[in-house]
């Protein structure tokens, strides 16, 4: 089958190849890929940024988001059948959405929301799971709380805004003036134009901040939290809990603690908290999220769609920061569902 694989780590490490169709384990479903989407995580994995923790055996197929049709089921699979339309964020070490077929553990798969096309559904899993795990699992956001979401027009930000509003929060976001209409339509109550204003000078008393930029942006985010507030970053620095999540050796947990020591110390000095979030695959959460998409509470934001044979161009498009809003999708059939 045709696929885009990582042969070596680095910017030029991914290329098109013919590879064997994946083996299907007892708990796996084989999915014929209809569409996939691009995430910053694809670049990070391609470049080997997590190679000490995620030990992929090269060459491996890249791609973390997929929507398609089940073509085969393992002997222990239940609740899924051949012909089912599904979507998933396959678990780490089992990724491979940039291919004609992918084998996925049944626990990572959920029925595709009926209201979404394959292309729209492919834009959802990773960012929707990250949003859910940040706001529901970690922050336990309640109605009336104040949530700041950075980069609100991005793939993650545009999803988190919608979920935060659904949870009853007052939502602030950073975005350019060009994106203000979009983020307000998604549910943002307060929009800070990051090209003209410093959000840390105009916002205060927030319960939760979701950071996707890191560095100085994360440090300033701590200052807008009220006492006891929580800053969650999806770009790091990683903490010991991340190593534990991946089942890494204890010494790597110590390394992660050192990497995040500065930001954790700063958070403690301000009376707030810091956590790193590396989302995990979860088909049961995708089922809950699918219901929110079908009810109209959430909807995907798609920037552009590339045909499958231009997957590397789609990766470059995202990497170069050319995305205006939402996700970039790769489709096996760009002109139809």
Whether 236 shows a pLDDT value over 80: the answer reads yes
> Is 203 inside a domain boundary?
yes
Which pLDDT score is estimated for 112? Answer: 98
Which pLDDT score is estimated for 154? Answer: 96
Domains held by the chain: number:
2
Same domain as 119, residue 24: yes
- Written in H, E and C, the secondary structure of the chain is CEEEEECCCCCCCEEEEECCCCCCCCCEEEEEEEEEEECHHHHHHHCCCCCCCCCCCCCEECCCEEEEEEEEECCCCCCCCCCCEEEECCCCCCCCCCECEEEEEHHHEEECCCCCCHHHHHCCHHHHHHHHHHHHHHCCCCCCCEEEECCCCEHHHHHHHHHHHHCCCEEEEEECHHHHHHHHHHCCCEEEECCCCCHHHHCCCEEEEEECCCHHHHHHHHCCEEEEEEEEECCCCCCHHHHHHCCCCHHHHHHHHHHCHHHHHHHHHHCCEEEECCCCCCHHHHHHHHHHHHCCCCCCCEEEEEEHHHHHHHHHHHHCCCCCCEEEEEECCCCCC
Which pLDDT score is estimated for 40? Answer: 94
Which pLDDT score is estimated for 116? Answer: 98
Same domain as 148, residue 102: no
Whether 336 shows a pLDDT value over 70: the answer reads no
> Is 281 inside a domain boundary?
no
Report the mean per-residue pLDDT for the chain: 96
CB atoms within 10 A of CB 181: 11
Rg (alpha carbons) of the chain, rounded to whole number: 19
Same domain as 47, residue 139: no
Please, what's the largest Cα pairwise distance for the chain? Answer: 58
Provide the pLDDT confidence category of residue 337 given band limits of 50, 70 and 90. very low
> Is 147 inside a domain boundary?
yes
Same domain as 252, residue 309: no
Which pLDDT score is estimated for 245? Answer: 87
User: What are the tens digits of pLDDT across the range 273-284?
Assistant: 999 999 999 999
C-alpha to C-alpha distance for 296 and 7, rounded to whole angstroms:
41
Residues in the chain: 337
Which pLDDT score is estimated for 159? Answer: 98
Which pLDDT score is estimated for 322? Answer: 93
Same domain as 151, residue 69: no
> In CATH, what number is assigned to the domain containing residue 139?
3.40.50.720
Which pLDDT score is estimated for 335? Answer: 44
User: What are the tens digits of pLDDT across the range 155-169?
Assistant: 999 999 999 999 999
Q: Which of residues 233, 260, 276 is at a domain's end?
A: 276
Which pLDDT score is estimated for 35? Answer: 98
Whether 334 shows a pLDDT value over 50: the answer reads no
C-alpha to C-alpha distance for 241 and 239, rounded to whole angstroms:
5
Whether 248 shows a pLDDT value over 90: the answer reads no
Which pLDDT score is estimated for 312? Answer: 97
> In CATH, what number is assigned to the domain containing residue 78?
3.90.180.10
Instruction: Compute the average pLDDT of residues 219-238.
Output: 96
Whether 10 shows a pLDDT value over 70: the answer reads yes
Same domain as 258, residue 135: yes
Same domain as 256, residue 137: yes
> Is 103 inside a domain boundary?
yes
Q: Which domain holds residue 253?
A: 126-276
> Is 166 inside a domain boundary?
yes
Whether 253 shows a pLDDT value over 90: the answer reads no
> Is 291 inside a domain boundary?
no
User: What are the tens digits of pLDDT across the range 52-68?
Assistant: 888 999 999 999 999 99
Same domain as 189, residue 112: no
Instruction: Compute the average pLDDT of residues 123-134.
Output: 98
Q: How far apart are the first and last CA of the chain?
A: 21
Least confident of 89-93, 202-206, 332-336: 332-336
Same domain as 164, residue 111: no
Distance of CA 158 to the CA centre of its chain: 11
Same domain as 156, residue 113: no
Judge contact between 40 and 321, C-beta under 8 A.
Answer: no
Same domain as 57, residue 43: yes
Whether 51 shows a pLDDT value over 70: the answer reads yes
C-alpha to C-alpha distance for 167 and 163, rounded to whole angstroms:
6
Same domain as 248, residue 313: no
CA distances from 42 to 4, 159, 295 (A): 11, 19, 30
> Is 220 inside a domain boundary?
yes
C-alpha to C-alpha distance for 250 and 247, rounded to whole angstroms:
9
> Is 73 inside a domain boundary?
yes
Whether 240 shows a pLDDT value over 90: the answer reads no
21: nearest Cα among 58, 71, 65, 56: 71
């Amino acid at each position: 089958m045709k696929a885009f694989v990582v042969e070596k780590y680095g910017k030029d490490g991914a290329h098109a190849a013919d590879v064997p169709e994946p083996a299907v384990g007892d708990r796996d479903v084989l999915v014929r890929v209809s569409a996939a989407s691009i995430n910053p995580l694809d670049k990070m994995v391609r470049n080997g940024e997590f190679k000490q923790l995620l030990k992929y055996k090269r060459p491996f197929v890249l791609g973390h988001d997929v929507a398609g049709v089940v073509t085969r089921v393992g002997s222990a699979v239940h609740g899924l059948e051949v012909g089912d339309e599904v979507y998933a964020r396959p678990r780490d070490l089992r990724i491979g959405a940039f291919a004609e077929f992918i084998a996925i553990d049944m626990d990572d798969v959920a029925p595709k929301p009926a209201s979404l096309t394959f292309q729209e559904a492919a834009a959802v899993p990773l960012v929707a799971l990250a949003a859910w795990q940040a706001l529901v699992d970690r922050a336990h956001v309640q109605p009336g709380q104040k949530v700041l979401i950075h980069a609100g027009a991005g793939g993650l930000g545009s999803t988190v805004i919608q979920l935060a509003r659904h949870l009853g929060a007052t939502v602030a976001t950073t975005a350019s003036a060009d994106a203000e209409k979009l983020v307000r339509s998604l549910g943002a109550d307060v929009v800070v134009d990051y090209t003209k204003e410093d959000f840390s000078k105009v916002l205060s008393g927030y319960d939760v901040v979701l950071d996707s930029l890191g560095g100085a942006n994360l440090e300033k985010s701590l200052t807008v939290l009220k006492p006891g507030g929580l800053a969650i970053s999806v770009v790091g620095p990683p903490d010991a809990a991340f190593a534990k999540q991946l089942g890494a050796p204890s010494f790597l947990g110590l390394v992660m603690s050192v990497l995040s020591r500065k930001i954790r110390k700063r958070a403690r000095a301000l009376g707030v908290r810091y956590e790193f979030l590396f989302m995990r695959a979860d088909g049961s959460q995708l089922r809950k999220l699918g219901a929110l998409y079908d009810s109209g509470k959430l909807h995907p934001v798609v920037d552009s769609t590339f045909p499958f044979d231009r997957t590397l161009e789609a990766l470059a498009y995202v990497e170069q920061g050319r995305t205006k809003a939402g996700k970039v999708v790769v489709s096996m059939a760009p002109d139809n569902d």
